Structure formats: C-alpha cells, structure tokens
Amino acid sequence: MKFERYGIGIAKGLTVTIKHLFRHPTVSQYPEQRLNISRRFRGNELIWNQEKCTGCGTCAKTCPQGAIEIITSTDMAENKYVVEKYEADTGYCIQCGLCIESCPYEALYFSHNFECAKYRRGELVQGKEEMLETPERKVSGYFYPDKAEKLPKQTLLIEKVTEKR
Amino acid sequence: MAVRTEPFVLNMGPVHPSTHGVFRMRVTLDGEVVVDIEPVFGYLHRGIEKLAEQRTYTGVIPLTDRLDYISSMSNNLAYCLAAEKLAGIKVPERAEYIRVIMSELQRVAALLIAVGAFLNDCGAYFTPFLYMFRERERIVDLFEMASGQRLTYNYMRVGGVSQDLPEEFMPALRKFMDMMPRFMDEYDQLLMQNEILLARAKGVGILSKEQAINCSISGPVLRASGVKWDIRQADPYSIYDRFDFDIPTQTTGDCYDRYRQRVEETRQSLRIIRQAMEQLPSGPVRAEVPHLVRPPVGEAYAHIEAPKGELGFYLVSDNSIAPYRCHIRPPSLINLTALRDMVRGWKIADLIIIFGSIDITVGEIDR
C-alpha cells in the first residue's frame, strides 16, 4: 500500500493526545477521594424493617436465586404471623431487586453500602440482627423515591469534565 | 532438495488478551499463514436457557443481563418484548420512550467498547481504549442513576420499566448529548486516517455480500459488507417507526469498513436519542401486570437490533408461571460462523484483527 501524504494522519492523532494534557483528569484516587454513588444504588446488603414485616414470604417466593429464607409461626392471641427466622445469603444474592419491588408492605430495602467484603463465607449470611437499619447501614432509595431524596446527589463524570483544569 | 513446510497446530486461548473473554481457537498454520481454524467454546457455559425454565417470567430478566454483559439493556428489551407478545400486554407510552432511550444509549456504549477493543488489537495500545471507556463511563453513570447498577441493570420489566427516571436524569442526558458529537469527531481525528491503521486494516478479512447473507450474519458486520438490513426499519419493534434515522452502509466489508460502520451507527443512535428526548411524554411507566405472569398456551418470537446484530428470544408457554422453553438467538455466535472463511490465507497477526472486528462477547456465545 502506498501513501502519498505519510505522517499527516499520525500528526492529527497526536494533536488529540496533546490536547488531553490540558484537560481535567477524569480519574479519582479512590480510597482518599470518594465519589457519591447513585441514590438508587442496589447495595450488597438487604435491610429489613421488623415492624412493617408481616411474614407473608412474598420476597422469598420472588427471589430468583432462592437466597431469602423465612420461617414464621402463628400467634393466635395477636392474630398474626411471628417471624422466627429471616435470613438472606448475600453470597447467592445477585442484587436484582425483585424482592424489594414485590414486598407489599414496604418492609424490605437495599442498603447504600458497597464495601461489604467478608473474610469467611459463612459471614455473608445476614441474620435478623444484621438486617436492621443502623447509622452505618443506610437505606438506599431503590424503588422508594422518598428515601432517595434524603441521600447525597450522585457525582457525574460529565460534570467533572466540563470544568477547566 | 526443496524446502517444505508442515502444518502446525497452535492453541490460542482460552485465556488470551485478544480473544475477548474465555474463547479458544485451534489454529492450523503453514508457517505464519492461517490454513484453518476451529473455534472451541463452552468455557463460560452457565445453562441460561435451562435455568430460565425454572424461574418466573420476571425472574428471567436478571439472567438476560448476563448474556451479553456489555449490552444488558438490549437483552432486557428483547426478552420483555417476547414475553409481552406472549401475554398480550400493552406497554405505556412513556415506558416505550424510556426503553428506546436506554437501548440506544446502550448501543452507543457497546459500540464504543467494540471500537476501542478493535483499535487495541490493531496495536494502538490502550490509549483509544481508555478514551472510549471514558465516554462509556458517562453513559454508565446515567444507567446507574436510573437503575442502581453499573453492569447488570435489570431495568426493564414485563409491561414497562421497573421505575420512572429520576428528576436529575434528563438534565444529565441533555448535557451528555451536547458533548458526545464533539468527542466523536475527536476520535475520528485520532485514528481514522492513521497510516498504520489503514495499512493493517484496509483490505484485510473481506467478507463479501453473498457470503455474509449465506452465513446469516447480522448487525454492523452485515451492513459493513453493503447489505442494507436493520431490524429497526425492516421489522419495526417498540416505537422505532416514529423516528427518523438512516442506516449507514459500507462497500467492501473489510476490517476498516467494520470499524467505520460502528462509528457511523453511533451517530445515528445519538440522532434517535435526541428525537426521543424531545417527544418523551409523561404518564405511567408500567402497565398493570400481575406479579406472576401466566401467559396463555402458545409461543412467541421477538427480535431486536442489538449492538452486535439480531438478538431474538423464542418463548413457549404452557400456561404456568415459568416459560416452558426459552431459546436465545445470539448475534455473536452466528456472526462467528463467518470467521473461518474470513481468516483463511491471512497471517496470524491479521487473525487477531479480523477476530476483533467481528466484536463478540463470550457470555452470549456460551450462554
């Protein structure tokens, strides 16, 4: 193959590369600089509201992975179900969010946390106590727009690039 | 005494940086020239078609995310269209528009990866790839805002989408649409006329029009060979008949044409998104569909123009809550059937480029 104007294409390409010297960097140094994640983030943990849950088990039936286990007994005096065991195996969970959408009593949420690595496989199973809402375990706004409003706004790369260096 | 060569069998993959995943080829070589290749796959087989038979119609949607994992939204759309056809569900207007915006954004993102990976294979080591990834990152930001995840979106549902767009979505999308054409021009300037790229990709791995049709190739690979076939216009699904866009085609069908074809298609996708943004109506985003969909006995096939080609879902119902059979027509697997004819007679360095220009995802081939 013969080129009549050899070098022009490469020079054009290099101007683009040189232009990037004067642009704002798009990378952030992760552990020190943290960007805000989406308000609807589907986190690695589930959060369960004990007061609202009636023990109907719709979440366990909907879960495509079978990661939720619920055992209830009947309380004849109060005329309701008592949740004896509620467990979610986050090792099996694929964070699809179908359990949260299916809950008819708004008792199940995703957490807004993403650093949930554990040392042992068994620790991935969330029991009743590990599923309650705490200051460290914040509720995500997935499927609940009123909860999403309270969370910080997501950082977008598009806004970062428009700034000058 | 004459010098003779013997055929030499070389194993390429399954873990090789330019086979785009866990894909293995058994290449027969004569010196440096490829005589024959035999693709060996199945390393990423997860049995998605069989798993789908044990799940509810809604529960299959997260599985489709994992088919072609860089274009999850398109997979969701194809499955939902098939399930809606089976159950006879009408999707609200706003949901249709959101679906179109999402699947076209996904096409831009997937084609950016395809172009970046192709240039990476050509020897433009990682600079264009990371530029493309930066653009894709902006799209992924938008998806994360709407669905809450960055790779497995699981956003569409049978009868609409899972939830409405957040209020900060449209300003961000508008900003993205303002910037994207400028960046596309910049990337054209970066490598489109580069002499090294031209020397390596022009005239390499030609797929003729007849051969492409015989192998039932679809998507950008088919259109680069000069066949004007796009399901968005040939058999309009969803609301694609309302938009005004062109189908770009190329003439020769070599690697360079396939690269240019993808860039042109990205521009057309941006055109569709701009029209959909203007027409976006308000209203509900999800039809009233019961939790467990029970379609009547029957079968349905729905196909869409995914970033890689025709993606089809064939569903059979026996009036239970799970599909009786779910078959997937993956574009990557069928586009791969032309690879042997394309690489015969080329050198092993060209094999990498030709393979990269088909743009496959192994998650879809093995399923």
Of A13, A17, A64, the CB nearest to B59: A64
Distance to chain B for A52, nearest Cα, Å: 20
Is pLDDT at A137 greater than 70 in this prediction?
Answer: yes
B136, B113 Cβ separation under 8 angstroms: yes
Domain ranges of chain A: 1-165
Q: Is residue B1 part of a domain?
A: no
pTM: 0.89
Residue of B nearest to A3 (CA): B195
pLDDT (0 to 100) of residue A165: 46
Rg (alpha carbons) of chain A, rounded to whole number: 24
Is pLDDT at B74 greater than 60 in this prediction?
Answer: yes
Q: Name the burial class of residue A132, with classes exposed (0-12), middle (13-18) and buried (19+) by CB atoms within 10 angstroms of its CB.
A: exposed
Q: How many domains does chain B have?
A: 1
- Which structural domain, as residue segments, surrounds residue B77? 57-321
Answer whether A156 sits within 8 Å of B148, measured CB to CB.
no
Q: Is residue B41 part of a domain?
A: no
Q: Which residues contact B201 (CB under 8 A, 6 or more apart)?
A: B122, B254, B255, B256, B259, B353, B357
Is pLDDT at A56 greater than 50 in this prediction?
Answer: yes
Of B127, B146, B195, the CB nearest to A9: B195
Answer whether B191 sits within 8 Å of A95, measured CB to CB.
no
Q: Name the burial class of residue B241, with classes exposed (0-12), middle (13-18) and buried (19+) by CB atoms within 10 angstroms of its CB.
A: exposed
Check if A35 contacts B (Cβ < 8 Å).
no
Length of chain B counted residue by residue: 367
pLDDT (0 to 100) of residue A78: 81
Is pLDDT at B294 greater than 60 in this prediction?
Answer: yes
Least confident segment among A20-34, A119-133, B202-216, B273-287: A20-34
Check if B59 contacts A (Cβ < 8 Å).
yes
B28, B34 Cβ separation under 8 angstroms: yes
Is pLDDT at B180 greater than 50 in this prediction?
Answer: yes
Residue of B nearest to A141 (CA): B148
Is pLDDT at A77 greater than 60 in this prediction?
Answer: yes
Higher pLDDT: A1 or B274? It is: B274
Q: Is residue B289 part of a domain?
A: yes
Q: Is residue B43 part of a domain?
A: no
Check if A27 contacts B (Cβ < 8 Å).
no
pLDDT (0 to 100) of residue A153: 83
Residue of A nearest to B134 (CA): A26
pLDDT (0 to 100) of residue A4: 58
B254, B206 Cβ separation under 8 angstroms: yes
Residue of B nearest to A156 (CA): B141
Residue of B nearest to A111 (CA): B148
Q: Which residues contact B87 (CB under 8 A, 6 or more apart)?
A: B57, B158, B289, B293, B294, B295, B296
Of B59, B172, B193, the CB nearest to A158: B172
Q: Which residues of A touch B134 (CB under 8 A)?
A: 26, 157
Least confident segment among A22-31, A97-106, B166-175, B286-295: A22-31
B194-218 per-residue burial string, b: 16 or more CB within 10 A, e: under 16: bbebbebbeebbebeeeebeebebb
pLDDT tens for B231-259 read 888 888 888 888 888 888 888 888 888 88
pLDDT bin (cut points 50, 70, 90) of residue A160 is low
> What's the rounded mean pLDDT across residues A51-76?
86
Check if A161 contacts B (Cβ < 8 Å).
yes
A41, B45, B110, B277, B282 from B164: Cα distances, Å: 15, 34, 24, 15, 10
Chain-wide mean pLDDT for chain B?
Answer: 87
pLDDT bin (cut points 50, 70, 90) of residue B301 is very high
Distance to chain B for A108, nearest Cα, Å: 16
CATH number at residue B235: 1.10.645.10
pLDDT (0 to 100) of residue A2: 55
The rounded percent of chain B whose pLDDT value lies above 90 is 9
Q: Is residue B278 part of a domain?
A: yes
- The DSSP-derived string for B124-179 is --SHHHHHHHHHHHHHHHHHHHHHS-SS----EETTEESSPPPTTHHHHHHHHHHH
Q: Is residue B95 part of a domain?
A: yes
The rounded percent of chain A whose pLDDT value lies above 90 is 1
Q: Which residues of B touch A17 (CB under 8 A)?
A: 127, 190
Answer whether B193 sits within 8 Å of A8, measured CB to CB.
yes
A137, A47 Cβ separation under 8 angstroms: yes
Q: Is residue B28 part of a domain?
A: no
Q: Is residue B212 part of a domain?
A: yes
Interface test with A, best of B48, B55, B141 (most A CBs within 10 A): B141
pLDDT bin (cut points 50, 70, 90) of residue B316 is very high
pLDDT bin (cut points 50, 70, 90) of residue A147 is confident
> What's the rounded mean pLDDT across residues A38-51?
85
pLDDT bin (cut points 50, 70, 90) of residue B149 is confident
pLDDT (0 to 100) of residue A3: 55
Answer whether A110 sits within 8 Å of B193, measured CB to CB.
no
A1-165: in CATH 3.30.70.3270: yes
